Amino acid sequence: MLKKANKKLRRVVITRNAYAWQYGGAEQFAYNLARSLRNEGVESVVVSRVPELLEHCRRDGIRTFRNLWLKNETHRRWMLVYYLLWPVLVGQYVWLALRSRADLLVLMSRDDQIFGTAAARLLGLPVVWFDHADMKYIVARPFRFLSKSYFEALERADWVVMISDAEREKVAVNLPERYRKRFVMINNGALKGSGKALERPAGAKIVAYVGRLERDKGLFDLVEAAPEVVRRVPDAQFWLAGKGSHELELKERVKELGLEEHFRWLGHLDNVWDLLLAADVFVYPTHHDAAPLAPVEALLAGVPVVASRIGGIPEMVPEKCGVLVTPKEPAALAGALSELLADEKRLAGMRKAAQAAGPGMEFGTVTREKYLPIFQEVVKEKA
């Protein structure tokens, strides 16, 4: 992709801001990147307002910074606040870059990209943006104050990493060519973990899910698919790890269907690998996602995946490693899960294929072979 530079990259500031309650794939990505860079000898500071992300980093000895960030910033009532706070919002990135002696800013959310890029321009630092499915919405908006600022910042980014071809195509619809000349597509990887498999009932077939318990993750589709799966595979069990605003509704619907004994609600798991190592199949019936980490983690654990054919998922889940279905169709989901769980030979073949594909999806490999050469190159160019 890019010719490797000889100059050693030393320190990177990584930003990922979101609502305080939100911890998803993009937040996990920030942690994964910081950890993988450290393994390559590069220090990182993770900047965020998400407590879980900050705590996750601190536990692993990764430096953090909790910065100023305004929720609901797209509403018109915040526009005056942004005008007034512009020097402060830019200034905090200037201060942070100087304090950290950063060689590079890695910016992952809109406000960070606007204000962080302005700070980098003042300091002569290189900037790499990562888009985690936000850009297609931003560029589709009218040129209000923040939208115009975003486009101006985008022109100054050294590289913009898109996480799937599907996302790049959605952005391209509303983005002139001159903005896209520095785009590069790199599919997400995931950190390979370890753990002790959760104890399984004798003879059970475990269907696992890891993520937020929200309607848009397709979990009500999974619940509606469950009766047919259980009818065809009586030993099927659905083990779900995570929290979310629809947890109580999901549990109530499971109760209405009389399937309580087939569902296990694990809540937040400190180590999701305990679940993945116990699973026969990983399910991810999301309604919309760009390039989620959870299916890749499952493949790294050698677990076949049944997921929605949407966004960048077809680029991440090889056909030999799983089954893709149309989202929002419980019958199709039930059929895919039932057929796979009932066919041990096919299941074993997919496990073997997932184990073979996994090493190329490991986050450390992606960082070393793809992210790091880009980072080193832009640092060399700005030196």
Q: 217 or 86, which is more confident?
A: 217
> How far is the C-alpha of 237 from the C-alpha of 332, rounded, in Å?
18
Q: Are residues 63 and 76 in the same domain?
A: yes
CATH number for 327:
3.40.50.2000
> How far is the C-alpha of 287 from the C-alpha of 309, rounded, in Å?
9
**Straight-line distance from the first to the last Cα atom of the chain, in angstroms, rounded to the nearest whole number:** 21
Phi, psi of 323 (to 5 degrees): -130, 130
pTM: 0.86
pLDDT of residue 2: 44
Q: Are residues 128 and 61 in the same domain?
A: yes
Q: Are residues 150 and 92 in the same domain?
A: yes
- 49-58, 112-121, 142-151, 286-295: range with lowest mean pLDDT: 142-151
- Residue 194 falls within a domain, yes or no? no
> How far is the C-alpha of 304 from the C-alpha of 203, rounded, in Å?
18
What average pLDDT does the segment 124-152 reach?
Answer: 84
Residue 352: which domain range? 205-361
- Residue 197 falls within a domain, yes or no? no
Q: How confident is the model at residue 68 (pLDDT cuts 50, 70, 90)?
A: confident
Q: 133 or 203, which is more confident?
A: 203
- Residue 245 falls within a domain, yes or no? yes
Q: Are residues 79 and 160 in the same domain?
A: yes
User: Could you read off the pLDDT of 241-298 as tens digits, one per residue?
Assistant: 998 889 999 999 999 999 999 999 999 888 999 999 999 999 999 998 888 889 999 9
pLDDT of residue 372: 96
Q: Are residues 267 and 251 in the same domain?
A: yes
Q: Are residues 15 and 162 in the same domain?
A: yes
- Residue 73 falls within a domain, yes or no? yes
Which DSSP helix (H) or strand (E) runs through 196? none
Q: How many domains, in total, are found in the chain?
A: 2
Packed helices 51-59 and 25-39: angle between N→C axes, nearest 10 degrees = 20
Q: Are residues 183 and 214 in the same domain?
A: no
Q: Are residues 73 and 119 in the same domain?
A: yes
Q: Which amino acid is at 324?
A: L
Q: How confident is the model at residue 107 (pLDDT cuts 50, 70, 90)?
A: very high
Residue 323: strand pairing partners = 306
What average pLDDT does the segment 28-48 reach?
Answer: 94
- Residue 181 falls within a domain, yes or no? yes
> How far is the C-alpha of 69 from the C-alpha of 90, rounded, in Å?
11
Q: Are residues 209 and 94 in the same domain?
A: no
Res. 41: pLDDT tops 90: yes
Q: Are residues 129 and 118 in the same domain?
A: yes
- Residue 6 falls within a domain, yes or no? no
> Dihedral of CA 194/195/200/203: which sign?
positive
Packed helices 145-156 and 79-100: angle between N→C axes, nearest 10 degrees = 30
**Mean pLDDT rounded to a whole number for the chain:** 90
- Residue 200 falls within a domain, yes or no? no
User: Could you read off the pLDDT of 329-365 as tens digits, one per residue?
Assistant: 999 999 999 999 999 999 999 999 999 998 889 999 9
What average pLDDT does the segment 115-144 reach?
Answer: 88
> Dihedral of CA 289/292/298/299: which sign?
positive
Q: Are residues 15 and 154 in the same domain?
A: yes
Q: Are residues 48 and 130 in the same domain?
A: yes
Reported in sequence order, the residue ranges of the chain that DSSP labels E, i.e. its strands, are 11-15, 43-48, 63-66, 104-107, 127-131, 159-162, 183-185, 205-210, 236-241, 263-267, 281-284, 305-308, 322-325
- 104-108, 123-127, 143-147, 355-359: range with lowest mean pLDDT: 143-147
